[in-house]
Structure 1
Amino acid sequence: MFSAIRAGGFIMLPIILCGIAATFIIIERCFYFYVTKKRDVKLMYDLNSYLDSENYDSAAISCAEADTPCSQVVKKALDCRRWDEKDMKDAVEAEMSVVVPRFEHLLTPLGTISNIATLLGLLGTVTGNIKAFGVLGAGGTMGDPAILAGAIAEALVTTVAGLIVSIPSVIFYNYFISRVNRRIAEMENNVTNVVIKLTGRVK
């Protein structure tokens, strides 16, 4: 493994750094979506009983304990429950636009890494081929076989390394984008149900 990394040359360093960063982001986002989903399920279960009994203090405490984007928007709705219905909805919509970036956190860097890793692999391929042709040009028909093999290895290893980082990054980026869209839709549905109860249309 280490011999392959050495064969890839200096281009391998940024590719490895991209791989480490992508791995961190993927693990962090998987954990985040799992935890927030679990907390939101519990939050909505608790809120149903609290809102039915108009126990708004306990509902607010549950929101604070959940500490999710959904709970933050629900807390805003609870704080504005005495407002005019239109004003409350406007406040809730504004709060939603504030919390959505919490779902999208680190996804832009992950998408950037998926593109950069491919380009770095391509760059390594180009530099490796340049070295290979330089060896051929300097040494007659074949040049030094050892140097030529090293240049070709650099071209191939960096290409493979770039793809190894890029492919999972693209897959998880698209997966997380779909998760974000689903979570936003779930949040809107949950908050709408809370607002309906707070406005007294459903008891």
Structure 2
Amino acid sequence: MLNSKKTNILLAAAGAAVLMASSPVLAQAPAEPTPAAAPAEAPTAMAPAADAANPSTVGESVGGGHSGGITPISMFMEATIIVKVVMIGLLLASILSWTLLLIKLFEFGALNRKTDNFLENFRGARTIADMRAVATQEEYDGNPLADMAAAATDEIEMSRQAGLSVTGDHLDNAMGRATAAVAAVQSGLAKRLSGGQQFLASVGSTGPFVGLFGTVYGIMNSFIGIAESNTTNLAVVAPGIAEALLATGIGLFAAIPAVVFYNYFNTRIAAYGTRADGFAAELLNGISRQLDKGA
């Protein structure tokens, strides 16, 4: 009985060995993955994420070769002909505005110095003849206040030479003619002092709009370039937009000083006009006083 059990066990073991030998899947045990195999792929998988997180890498890919290479001169050279014409016109207007500023500063400085000197000498005159002698001196030639004094005293002198009485009952007539002569000189005073003001006003009011025209034209060309290249890459459109905005910047550069100069010189002109009005009253009072004295 024992021999038959042993025989059955041996037969079962032999059958199991035959089955394992005949099946490759059962014969090979599944290999456990090594711990080092999984991390080996990690650097390759994480590389794109690292590049995406690096701002300098992204900036280089978007900006291309323009990083640090765009300057106002290069933008001007790359601009279209219309934008270039706008920029050149605005730059010329700005140069003329600054030139006009220097000219008028020297003009007003010399005018005030000559006026101060004239008033000092005029107030020392004792007769109408003395007033006329001071007003007609060559060093005061072209001075508005000296011209006013010369016109008033000349009118009195011409009335005398014509045989007209300038005193007594005829004093009012003589003073009326002298006043008219002074007013004629004063009427041209504002025009003499306001030379160049119209140019400054024009540059100050139209400069930003001219620059804006160049900007609109440049941006329009940039969008046309986007449509033709079928790309919205910032490196493609940024230079054109920068060139366009430069036109507006030059327009403001020309307009802002022009407006400042215009307001400044308007103030100077108004101040000198007030001074001229005061001198006119002083002049006519002096002439009337001398005529009453019979001088």
Query: Which amino acid in structure 2 is aligned with residue 88 of structure 1?
Result: A
8 Å contact 2:87–2:250 — kept in the other structure?
yes
SS at match of 2:156: coil
- Please name the residue that 1:182 is paired with: 271
Deviations 1:74-102 (A, max 9, x none): 22122123451011101211221023211
TM superposition shift of 1:57: 4.7
Structure 2: distance between partners of 1:120 and 1:60: 48
8 Å contact 1:127–1:155 — kept in the other structure?
yes
Structure 2: distance between partners of 1:172 and 1:191: 28
- Please name the residue that 1:87 is paired with: 177
Deviations 1:8-62 (A, max 9, x none): 5412110111111111111111111111011101100010112468524531333
TM-score for both structures, normalised by structure 2: 0.63
Change (3 A) 1:195 1:136: same
Residue 161 (str. 1) matches residue 267 (str. 2): no
8 Å contact 2:208–2:251 — kept in the other structure?
yes
- Please name the residue that 1:76 is paired with: 151
Residue 107 (str. 1) matches residue 181 (str. 2): no
Structure 2: distance between partners of 1:90 and 1:35: 28
8 Å contact 1:135–1:143 — kept in the other structure?
no
TM-score for both structures, normalised by structure 1: 0.89
Deviations 1:159-189 (A, max 9, x none): 1111011001101101111111111110111
Structure 1 runs not aligned, ≥5 long: none
Residue correspondences, number: 201
Match of 1:65 among 121, 139, 144: 139
8 Å contact 1:124–1:154 — kept in the other structure?
no
SS at match of 1:36: helix
Runs of 4+ aligned structure 1 residues displaced above 6 Å come to none
Structure 2 runs not aligned, ≥5 long: 1-71, 160-173
Change (3 A) 1:51 1:120: farther
8 Å contact 2:197–2:262 — kept in the other structure?
yes
Residue 6 (str. 1) matches residue 77 (str. 2): yes
Query: Which amino acid in structure 2 is aligned with residue 23 of structure 1?
Result: W
Structure 1: distance between partners of 2:76 and 2:145: 45
Q: Which has the higher contact order (CA 8 A, sep 6+)?
A: 1
**The 10-residue stretch of structure 1 (65-74 or 183-192) with the greater mean CA deviation from structure 2:** 65-74
- Please name the residue that 2:34 is paired with: none
Query: Which amino acid in structure 1 is aligned with residue 98 of structure 2?
Result: T
8 Å contact 2:131–2:149 — kept in the other structure?
no
Query: Which amino acid in structure 1 is aligned with residue 134 of structure 2?
Result: A
Query: Which amino acid in structure 1 is aligned with residue 155 of structure 2?
Result: C
Match of 1:129 among 219, 224, 233: 219
